Structure 1
Amino acid sequence: MTDEELVDALKALAHPVRLRILQALSGTERNVGEVDDIAAIGQPTLSQQLAVLRNAGLVKTRKDAKLVYYRIDDGRLAKVVDAVGKLGGLSAKPMRHLRQPAPGVANFAKLG
């Protein structure tokens, strides 16, 4: 993920209406009407904000007849979370220890 893509994703997340949309989509796929019912946003605003989330790559769409279904792009969101976590010294990925025990030295405890 490029820095520009990360900034776009963070901007998309930092909005109360878009956060409500993502909460409505948490763990499931919903069509626009279902999202509107749960998030109580209103159709014109909902469409605009879903477009922002789509452009930031945070949601995926699937069309079934006339209905468009949305779901969170878990992989993309995980990259955002990982990038933010690294700012605080945290990471979703296991960290490799750079320090190796010196040869011939007793190792009484392994920290890790």
Structure 2
Amino acid sequence: MENNLKAQLEELKKRLELVEENIDPVDEVMLSIKARLRRKLEGGKLPELDEEKAVRTLKALANPDRIRLLKMLSEGSMGFKDIKEALGVESPTVSHHLKLLTRTGMVRKGEGYEITPNGRLFLRLLKIITALGEVEG
């Protein structure tokens, strides 16, 4: 019986490794967010909505070039010059976009610019919102 349990445990470990290997990085972000929310909910409810922070975040996402920038960075880190060429805009505009996305925690600067887990989450949320269709009004 003990050998049977060991064999089952080894099989479960192999399956878990296979599942972990196949988790999409965005899903990994969603799992991370879920864990962060659980910790926030230990008090019984979500914290109050910070309207100013929400507005800053939505403003950062309210531009097609910034969304394109997040999509590009989701493929890998990029330098300033590469971003400028890919977007086809002037340097001050690129600086402005990067400043807004960095200030809201969606992008960070290392050797190049890269998307953060929060940036991946917001990009995922935008995909979900657009997949649901336009809001009727």
Q: Do both share a fold (TM > 0.5)? A: yes
What is the alpha-carbon distance in structure 1 between the residues aligned to residue 64 and residue 70 of structure 2? 10
SS at match of 2:108: strand
Counterpart for residue 33 of structure 1: 81
Counterpart for residue 118 of structure 2: 75
Counterpart for residue 16 of structure 1: 64
Q: 1:57 to 1:74 in 2, by over 3 A?
A: same
Alignment-mate amino acid for residue 84 of structure 2: D
What is the alpha-carbon distance in structure 2 between the residues aligned to residue 56 and residue 22 of structure 1? 12
Counterpart for residue 6 of structure 1: 54
Residue of 44, 51, 69 corresponding to 2:92: 44
Greater fraction of residues in strand: 1
What is the alpha-carbon distance in structure 1 between the residues aligned to residue 70 and residue 122 of structure 2? 16
Fraction of identical pairs, as percent: 29
SS at match of 1:57: coil
Q: How many residues align?
A: 80
Using the TM superposition, give the Cα deviation of residue 19 of structure 1 relative to its aligned residue in structure 2, in angstroms: 1.7
Alignment-mate amino acid for residue 77 of structure 2: E
1:42-68 per-position Cα deviation (integer Å, ceiling 9, x unaligned): 2111111110111111101114xxxxx
Measured on the aligned residues, the alpha-carbon RMSD in Å equals: 2.9
Using the TM superposition, give the Cα deviation of residue 75 of structure 1 relative to its aligned residue in structure 2, in angstroms: 3.3
Counterpart for residue 92 of structure 1: none
What is the alpha-carbon distance in structure 2 between the residues aligned to residue 36 and residue 42 of structure 1? 7
What is the alpha-carbon distance in structure 2 between the residues aligned to residue 59 and residue 13 of structure 1? 12
1:4-50 per-position Cα deviation (integer Å, ceiling 9, x unaligned): 43332221111122122222212211010111121111211111111
Structure 2 unaligned runs (5+)? 1-46, 133-137
What is the alpha-carbon distance in structure 1 between the residues aligned to residue 119 and residue 63 of structure 2? 18
Normalization by structure 2: what TM-score? 0.48
Greater fraction of residues in helix: 2
